[in-house]
């Protein structure tokens, strides 16, 4: 407080100045006075609020309590002179470029029709390290070549894993037109145990690949193709007596003894999983 000017904290951390002639000479430190916001703008990159003396009843004006610092909280300053205790601030109370604690009051000014800039120099410039994308970590159970241990029966366990993948990855709207239709052929589970062995990446990948095939999304797997009866060019495709056609899909690529998944596509739309084997394994 100077002889000719009075510093008025309009919002926490931001002050304006009034002349003593406008508010009287009896004002002392700590007094609550009524002011009228004239303008809100920027000065040399900082927020500036210009106020003038206000008087209750002048021109029919009504002096309102200062807006609360928190939604639903008490007025920061009341007309009767009461001053609310300033609560501790959280991250939600602070806006980049605006003094801490002034967010609620500035919102009150906006609602009153006062133009308040929505962005200030420095807004959007993080002063800390950038946030990293959230990642999900899943636990891999290594005691057998199936992901979890919800069942002791391997058939039930793999069935569950396929259905969980379907529930998680197929859109809700597409589930009616892409139901799961599959079964395990004799010897399939044994081939999984022998060939997958202790490969953790394949333990996760196998149920997902089987799910895409069984729900009619075979194109989402790696290199699905019909199986021929021999490697000779133009050899006919392998077809069973019940007209089921043989297919093969890659579980691995660009690696020695890459694993493959063999399955039959039955005429009724069911996918019958035949075996997991290495690339150059004979037969189907």
Mean pLDDT for 129-157 is 61
pLDDT of residue 117: 59
100 has a pLDDT exceeding 50: no
The pLDDT value recorded for residue 221 is 96
Place 278 in a pLDDT band, splitting at 50, 70 and 90: very high
Query: Would you list the domain boundaries of the chain?
Result: 5-111, 154-278
CA 17 from chain center: how many Å? 45
Cβ–Cβ under 8 Å, residues 258 and 248: no
113 to 38, 106, 263: CA distances (angstroms):
11, 11, 69
pTM, whole model, 2 decimals? 0.50
pLDDT at 143 over 60: no
Which range (71-80, 139-148, 266-275) has the least confidence?
Answer: 139-148
Average pLDDT of the residues in 57-70 = 59
Q: What is the pLDDT of residues 165-186, one digit of tens each?
A: 999 999 999 999 999 999 999 9
Distances (CA, A) of 247 to 215, 232, 264: 15, 17, 6
Lowest average pLDDT, out of 71-80, 127-136, 145-154, 240-249, goes to 127-136
Q: In Å, how far are 6, 8, 33, 140, 156 from 18, measured between CA atoms?
A: 5, 7, 11, 68, 80
More confident residue, 132 or 165: 165
In the structure, what pLDDT confidence band is assigned to residue 139 with cuts at 50, 70 and 90?
very low
Confidence of residue 96 (pLDDT cuts 50, 70, 90): very low
Average pLDDT, the chain: 75
The share of the chain scoring above pLDDT 70, in percent, equals: 54
* Banded model confidence at residue 231, pLDDT cuts 50, 70, 90: confident
What is the structure's pLDDT at 89? 43
């Amino acid at each position: 407080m100077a002889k000719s000017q009075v510093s008025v904290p309009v919002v926490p951390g931001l002050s304006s100045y009034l002349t003593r002639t406008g508010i009287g000479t009896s004002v002392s430190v700590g007094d609550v006075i009524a002011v009228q916001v004239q303008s809100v703008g920027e000065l040399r990159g900082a927020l500036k609020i210009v106020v003038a003396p206000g008087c209750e009843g002048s021109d029919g004006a009504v002096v309102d309590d200062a807006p609360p610092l928190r939604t639903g909280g008490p007025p920061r300053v009341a007309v009767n002179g009461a001053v609310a205790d300033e609560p501790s601030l959280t991250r939600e109370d602070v806006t980049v470029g605006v003094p801490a604690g002034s967010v609620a009051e500035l919102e009150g000014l906006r609602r009153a029709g006062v133009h308040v800039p929505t962005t200030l120099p420095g807004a959007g410039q993080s002063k800390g390290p950038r946030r990293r994308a959230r990642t999900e970590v899943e636990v891999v159970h290594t005691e057998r070549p199936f992901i979890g241990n919800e069942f002791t029966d391997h058939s039930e366990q793999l069935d569950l894993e396929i259905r969980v993948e379907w529930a998680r990855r197929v859109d809700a709207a597409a589930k009616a037109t892409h139901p799961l239709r599959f079964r395990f052929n004799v010897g399939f589970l044994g081939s999984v145990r022998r060939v997958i062995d202790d490969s953790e990446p394949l333990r996760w990948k196998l149920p997902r690949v089987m799910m895409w095939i069984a729900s009619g999304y075979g194109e989402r797997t790696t290199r699905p193709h019909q199986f021929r009866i021999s490697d000779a060019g133009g050899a006919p495709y392998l077809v069973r007596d019940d007209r089921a056609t043989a297919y093969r899909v890659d579980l691995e690529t660009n690696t020695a003894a890459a694993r493959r998944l063999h399955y039959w596509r039955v005429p009724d739309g069911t996918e019958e999983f035949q075996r997991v084997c290495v690339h150059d394994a004979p037969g189907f």
